[in-house]
Structure 1
Amino acid sequence: MTSSIQNFIRERRNGRKRALALPSWNEDFIIRLGITTILEGHTGCVNCLEWNKEGSLLVSGSDDQFIRIWRPHDAEQPISVSNVVTPLSSIKTSHTRNIFATRFFDNHSKIISGAADHEVHVTDLTTQQSVFSEKFENRVKKISVVDNYRFLSAVEDGSAQLSDTRAGRSFPIFSITASNLPRVANIKEVKSIDFHANTNMIAVGSGGGLVRIFDARFDKNEPTLMFGKMFFPGHCDRDRGGYSVTHVAFSEDGSELLANMGSEHVYLYDVKNPSLTSLKLPEFDSTPEEPSPLPSKAEALKETGNLLFSEQQYFGAFQTYLDALSSCPGHPVLLNNAASALLNRKLIGDKYESFLFCQRALKKHSNYRKARIRAIKLLRNIDLIVAKDESEKLYEYDLKNSDKKEISASRKIRDNILKVLGDVPDDEEEDAESAAPIWLDYKNRFVGHYNCQTDIKEASFLGSEFIAAGSDCGNLFVWQRNGKLIFIAKADGNILNCVQPNPKLTSIATAGIDNEIKLWQPVDESLSDSYNSVNSTAGLVEHVEENSESLRQHVRQDNELMAQMNSQFCVNQ
């Protein structure tokens, strides 16, 4: 495989087109990822990376205020352990503080950069001079290119700015104000932005954890921007101010959006067919109570998952149930078992996702009693009003269709919920029922990394089937798109922020607090021991539990700080 990459690069440099495409990402490649090249030249933290469209050049920006251009893939060098590459070009920019964003621009003849000095610059690669600049009200965190003369900037003053180099001006196309922050704490910074040219959609990630998507129409005059969708994980507290969306990225076809959420996890949102956050359960129907038997492969995986569950290895059990679901998608028994594993794994957000798995099981088989009872019990911790309604529906159904034992069980569930609910005034129940959600929920969730210490941490698609992200622990994390964690490896001595897959090759460039950039490629199995990679279940669990405890501690401290701030605000009033 490594020779095929080298042959591809050699043919491209010689101007020949390759008839056959390179292999796409697969799990075997991922678990053999290793650092094959180190890019040395920066003298400060490397905060941003981008490949050109051909995957031949890489641009980076740093705390040292330099832009550097690299050609990391060199066909003359064998893929081995840690080749060292120096930059093709080093440009001292006009920035006076840390560079957070860099992008190739105008057919790769220029570089856009944004920084902590509140400025964006367009630098000509030939003259190495700034040919366009703009100063905003706060730090510039991300940049997305629209076309050869326009680009978007995410600015921490709460705005998304459109810069037009042909007209020589910039103006806000969106600003966060109190009026468009319903029930969300007053954190307004725009942290991330992405533009998808084929669909004309703009995604904006901000403080508070919200992701907004706009439909943009660009013409010769000012663009027309229509608000489209707002995404937010269903279990998160919409009044809490500790979240921030540190990175957003559209999938290649624009149908999905990846969001790395600070103080939380990585989320995949369905842009094409989104669903509102809903706690309602499907109505009963005439299907049998017990689902159909599983195929033999899925049954064997389920039994393995059950064994791990009985040994209280809930992380491994959940991963195994995900494997079974890949073999037999949507089977209610597997979904219910996965829900049970999540409930016992007890990471942040696991109770809510456990409910979602039960909900999915009931959409496939609405009379599956085990899933319905588990869902109702979970609703006690999510929304008591909905839990009461669903428990009453179950009791009424059992009165007509079930035996005395099941009637007694459903009556007990209902009575316990009513006891917890207590004397809630009718008008409060009506208010809760009539509060229609305006947020769209996530499609998949990716847990295990830690994203609290920096607000530029990325998450990226590796092809269409895998997701990669950095972490405050310095590790590179890779998941299957169903949420199964398959790979962890040390990528930075402190914090890993940047994860940029090559658009043409099975390679990844990473960067963070360390001064150097690292290039990852699948290596021969004989070399894989040279890297501190983890793909065993025990190793994955150790890292996930450590990061999860760090996240819990951060959230506790953040909540205490917010409580103090709110208390002080009340005193001052």
Structure 2
Amino acid sequence: MPPERKRMAGLREREVGELPPRHFANAIMASKGFVQSLSIQKRLWKHRGCINTISFNADGRLLLSGSDDRTVVMWNWVEEVPAFSFHTGHSNNVLHAQFMPFSDDRSIVTCAADGEVRHSQIGEGGRVTTDKLVELDFAFDLRGKDAVKLFKCKAADHFTADDIELFAIAIDPRKPCCFAVAGSDEYVRIYDARKICQDGNSSLGHPTEHFCPPHLIGENKDGITGLAYSQTSEILATYSHDNIYLFSREHGLHFNDIEVDERLLMDETGPLSFNRDKLPIPKAFKGHQNQRTIKGVNFLGPNCDYVTSGSDCGRIFIWRKKDGELIRVMNGDTDIVNCVEQHPSGIVVASSGIDNDVKIWEPGEGGNPSIAPVDKNLDIFGTYFFKVNEDMWLSSSSDSDGFIYNDDFDYVMELDDILYGNELGWVFRIGILVKAIIQ
């Protein structure tokens, strides 16, 4: 049955009570049509700097954002208004902000580029009290004021024994005692909180598993900037200067009888002590750029059906998880998209990046243009380009899906997917605007 007829059949079943609304919504969110129908419906304006972190509260009514302006904003995103905002006390850019569970959304933890973790408590009348919680390599019990040192994440190479700079952490939803960390080397490390020693000198901690694509093992290049767990404990890792990879249990190095130590990373008498070709290769998601900032990565869909990430080119990429096919590329920022977050239950996606606004994506016609306005300083350049290439634009045609075709010049470009911020991007952007005026 064609997808459109399936949707209509599902709609009929929902209306006559044969299909629960939640199941109907899940079916829609898992469909390719849902992904292709997303457009910017709302823009949330208040921050005065790049927005580095966004997260919904448990029921999705509120959205929390943190910025280079060192403030966090609690949004009523439906009404497009800030419900509450405050200065965090950080002396540098806020990189992550999160509601603490079971706190009635009044307890917020933030970390920033100043190396501090802060706990902010919103009291009656909007009064905010903020405590500094020591440094980033500790765990905290918010019921008290003392930090508990768990372990230092060390490089596996005993010749340097450097500490790993940690950029990402994620908790396994099926086993909350287990969590993954990643940072300045090539490994995703899995720890079990039940097995971490806290006895002074022996408190370094030992990962229960390591994950890494075979071709990157021992390379120690640019590290990992983001992690995400699926509902079935798969792990997404986005590598700087490389791709996004999906790891399952069978990709674990320990699972494949490889111990990550100095013999794996370096052998002075010969090559690495294992055969890369015999290791299973994780699924890769390709096309985005992750070099200039710390990007997150996420799943979309009720059953983690899709993978999504921002990119240095200012676009949001969405791949189908089961086969790695790139399904959609959307223009989401004038420079870089860092964060893409799905609503916990609704058909809503939020994104943020270098721009000062949070963008809310929902199905339907765009309530706000997803392509930024042309800079007036480039008007002369744009006019010149149009005069030189007038025949190209006049001979072009566009279809109902928003693609522009030109047989003479053999190109295809999707209107929502135009590169921004470089000369080529401006050329196509201005040309399309002129063509629209002529028509």
| 1:88 equivalenced with 2:93 (yes/no) | no
- C-alpha distance 529-125 of structure 1, shift in aligned 2 (>3 A): closer
How far does residue 114 in structure 1 lie from its aligned partner after superposition? 0.6
Structure 1 partner of 2:213 = 233
Aligned residues of 1:269 and 1:444 also touching (Cα < 8 A)? yes
Counterpart of 1:479 (choices 316, 319, 332) is 319
- C-alpha distance 209-67 of structure 1, shift in aligned 2 (>3 A): same
Structure 2 partner of 1:520 = 361
How far does residue 121 in structure 1 lie from its aligned partner after superposition? 1.2
| 1:38 equivalenced with 2:43 (yes/no) | yes
**Whole-angstrom CA distance in 1 between matches of 2:207 and 2:255:** 22
**Whole-angstrom CA distance in 1 between matches of 2:273 and 2:418:** 39
- C-alpha distance 70-529 of structure 1, shift in aligned 2 (>3 A): closer
Residue type of the partner of 1:467? V
Aligned residues of 1:218 and 1:224 also touching (Cα < 8 A)? no
How far does residue 53 in structure 1 lie from its aligned partner after superposition? 1.5
RMSD of the TM alignment (CA)? 3.8
| 1:71 equivalenced with 2:65 (yes/no) | no
Counterpart of 1:112 (choices 109, 112, 117) is 109
After TM superposition, the structure 1 stretch with the greater mean CA deviation from structure 2, 230-239 or 480-489, is: 230-239
How far does residue 117 in structure 1 lie from its aligned partner after superposition? 1.6
- C-alpha distance 489-207 of structure 1, shift in aligned 2 (>3 A): same
Residue type of the partner of 2:245? Y
- C-alpha distance 498-101 of structure 1, shift in aligned 2 (>3 A): same
Residue type of the partner of 2:114? D
Structure 2 partner of 1:261 = 239
Aligned residues of 1:467 and 1:479 also touching (Cα < 8 A)? yes
Structure 2 partner of 1:52 = 57
- C-alpha distance 278-174 of structure 1, shift in aligned 2 (>3 A): closer
Structure 2 partner of 1:207 = 184
- C-alpha distance 250-278 of structure 1, shift in aligned 2 (>3 A): closer
**SS of match in other structure, 1:268:** strand
Aligned residues of 2:186 and 2:220 also touching (Cα < 8 A)? no
**Whole-angstrom CA distance in 1 between matches of 2:172 and 2:362:** 27
Task: Write the deviation string for residues 380-424 of structure 1: whole angstroms up to 9, x where unpaired.
Answer: xxxxxxxxxxxxxxxxxxxxxxxxxxxxxxxxxxxxxxxxxxxxx
Residue type of the partner of 1:262? S
Report how many aligned residue pairs link the two structures. Answer: 342
**Whole-angstrom CA distance in 1 between matches of 2:96 and 2:29:** 28
How far does residue 96 in structure 1 lie from its aligned partner after superposition? 1.5
- C-alpha distance 434-121 of structure 1, shift in aligned 2 (>3 A): closer
Alignment of 1:406-555 (within 5 A): 432=271, 434-435=273-274, 442-455=281-294, 457-463=295-301, 464-481=304-321, 482-524=323-365, 531=370, 538-539=412-413
Residue type of the partner of 1:227? P
How far does residue 491 in structure 1 lie from its aligned partner after superposition? 0.4
Alignment of 1:102-251 (within 5 A): 102-107=97-102, 108-126=105-123, 127-136=126-135, 155=136, 159=137, 161-178=138-155, 180-181=156-157, 188-199=164-175, 200-217=177-194, 227-236=207-216, 238-241=218-221, 243-251=222-230
- C-alpha distance 27-189 of structure 1, shift in aligned 2 (>3 A): same
**Whole-angstrom CA distance in 2 between matches of 1:86 and 1:49:** 15
- C-alpha distance 106-56 of structure 1, shift in aligned 2 (>3 A): same
**SS of match in other structure, 1:506:** coil
- C-alpha distance 226-210 of structure 1, shift in aligned 2 (>3 A): closer
- C-alpha distance 196-65 of structure 1, shift in aligned 2 (>3 A): same
Aligned residues of 1:268 and 1:442 also touching (Cα < 8 A)? no
Aligned residues of 1:277 and 1:440 also touching (Cα < 8 A)? no
How far does residue 273 in structure 1 lie from its aligned partner after superposition? 3.4
Aligned residues of 1:217 and 1:225 also touching (Cα < 8 A)? no
**SS of match in other structure, 2:214:** coil
**SS of match in other structure, 2:356:** coil
Aligned residues of 2:88 and 2:130 also touching (Cα < 8 A)? no
- C-alpha distance 45-444 of structure 1, shift in aligned 2 (>3 A): same
Q: Which structure: larger Rg?
A: 1
How far does residue 486 in structure 1 lie from its aligned partner after superposition? 1.2
**Whole-angstrom CA distance in 1 between matches of 2:342 and 2:94:** 21
How far does residue 235 in structure 1 lie from its aligned partner after superposition? 1.5
Residue type of the partner of 2:193? A
Task: Write the deviation string for residues 270-320 of structure 1: whole angstroms up to 9, x where unpaired.
Answer: 1x33355999xxxxxxxxxxxxxxxxxxxxxxxxxxxxxxxxxxxxxxxxx
Task: Write the deviation string for residues 138-181 of structure 1: whole angstroms up to 9, x where unpaired.
Answer: xxxxxxxxxxxxxxxxx4xxx4x211111322233232334x23
Structure 1 partner of 2:15 = none
* Uncovered stretches (5+) of structure 1, i.e. residues with no partner: 5-16, 75-84, 137-154, 280-427, 547-573
Between Structure 1 and Structure 2, the one with more helix by share is 1
**Whole-angstrom CA distance in 1 between matches of 2:368 and 2:350:** 20
Task: Write the deviation string for residues 464-491 of structure 1: whole angstroms up to 9, x where unpaired.
Answer: 2101100011100000112111111110
**Whole-angstrom CA distance in 2 between matches of 1:215 and 1:530:** 46
How far does residue 124 in structure 1 lie from its aligned partner after superposition? 1.3
- C-alpha distance 113-433 of structure 1, shift in aligned 2 (>3 A): closer
Task: Write the deviation string for residues 474-511 of structure 1: whole angstroms up to 9, x where unpaired.
Answer: 10000011211111111011111011111111211100
**Whole-angstrom CA distance in 1 between matches of 2:237 and 2:174:** 20
TM-score of the two chains, using structure 2 as the length reference: 0.68
**Whole-angstrom CA distance in 2 between matches of 1:181 and 1:123:** 38
Alignment of 1:338-377 (within 5 A): none
Aligned residues of 2:42 and 2:359 also touching (Cα < 8 A)? yes
Aligned residues of 1:24 and 1:506 also touching (Cα < 8 A)? yes
Aligned residues of 1:214 and 1:229 also touching (Cα < 8 A)? yes
How far does residue 443 in structure 1 lie from its aligned partner after superposition? 2.4
Give the fraction of aligned pairs with identical amino acids, expressed as a percent: 27
**SS of match in other structure, 2:35:** helix
How far does residue 118 in structure 1 lie from its aligned partner after superposition? 1.5
Residue type of the partner of 1:115? A
- C-alpha distance 440-517 of structure 1, shift in aligned 2 (>3 A): farther
How far does residue 187 in structure 1 lie from its aligned partner after superposition? 7.4
Between Structure 1 and Structure 2, the one with more strand by share is 2
**SS of match in other structure, 1:87:** strand
* Uncovered stretches (5+) of structure 2, i.e. residues with no partner: 1-6, 11-19, 257-266, 372-400, 405-410, 421-439
Counterpart of 1:24 (choices 21, 29, 34) is 29
Residue type of the partner of 2:334? G
